[in-house]
Amino acid sequence: MTTKPSEFIQLHHASDQQLRAELSAGLLTASAYASPKYFYDALGSKLFAAICELPEYYLSRTEASIFDAYLGEIAEAVGVGGTLIDLGAGNCAKAARLFPALQPAQYVPVDISIDFLRDAVGDLQQRFPHIQMTGLGLDFSSALQLPDRVQLNKRLFFYPGSSIGNFTPDDALAFFRRLHAACGDDGGLLIGVDLIKAPVFLNAAYDDALGVTASFNLNLLLHLNRLLGADFNIAEWRHVSFFNTAQSRIEMYLEARHAVTVKWQGGERGFQQGERIHTENSYKYTTDDFVQLLQQAGFGGIRRWSDADDWFMVCHARAT
Ligand code: AVI
Please check whether residue 42 is in contact with residue 158, taking contact to mean a CB–CB distance below 8 angstroms.
no
> Would you state the pLDDT for residue 116?
79
161 CB near ligand 1 (under 6 Å): yes
Is the model's pLDDT at 278 over the cut of 80?
Answer: yes
Q: Helix or strand or coil: residue 153?
A: coil
Helix 287-296 and helix 169-182: axis angle, to 10°?
50
Q: Beta strands 188-194 and 312-318: pairing type? A: antiparallel
Sequence-distant (6+) residues with CB within 8 A of 236 are 256, 257, 258, 260
Per-residue pLDDT reduced to its tens digit, 164-173: 999 999 999 9
Shortest-distance atom of ligand 1 to CA 241: 11
Pocket test for ligand 1, best of 48, 63, 196, 252 (most atoms within 8 A of CB): 48
Shortest-distance atom of ligand 1 to CA 161: 3
Place 1 in a pLDDT band, splitting at 50, 70 and 90: low
What is 22-84 written as a DSSP string? HHHHHHHSSS-B--GGGG-SHHHHHHHHHHTTSSS-HHHHHHHHHHHHHHHHHHHHH-SSSEE
Centre of ligand 1 from the C-alpha of residue 282, in Å: 7
Per-residue pLDDT reduced to its tens digit, 119-154: 899 999 999 999 999 999 998 988 888 999 999 989
Centre of ligand 1 from the C-alpha of residue 88, in Å: 13
225 CB near ligand 1 (under 6 Å): no
Sequence-distant (6+) residues with CB within 8 A of 151 are 82, 83, 105, 106, 184
Report, as an integer, the average pLDDT of 20-39: 96
Is the model's pLDDT at 5 over the cut of 90?
Answer: no
Among candidates 92, 103, 177, 95, which has minimal Cα distance to 143? 177
Per-residue pLDDT reduced to its tens digit, 197-221: 999 999 999 999 999 999 999 999 9
Place 31 in a pLDDT band, splitting at 50, 70 and 90: very high
Residue with the nearest Cα to atom 7 of ligand 1?
Answer: 282
Please give the Cα distance from 289 to 204 (Å, whole number).
Answer: 24
pTM of the model: 0.96
Please give the Cα distance from 41 to 6 (Å, whole number).
Answer: 25
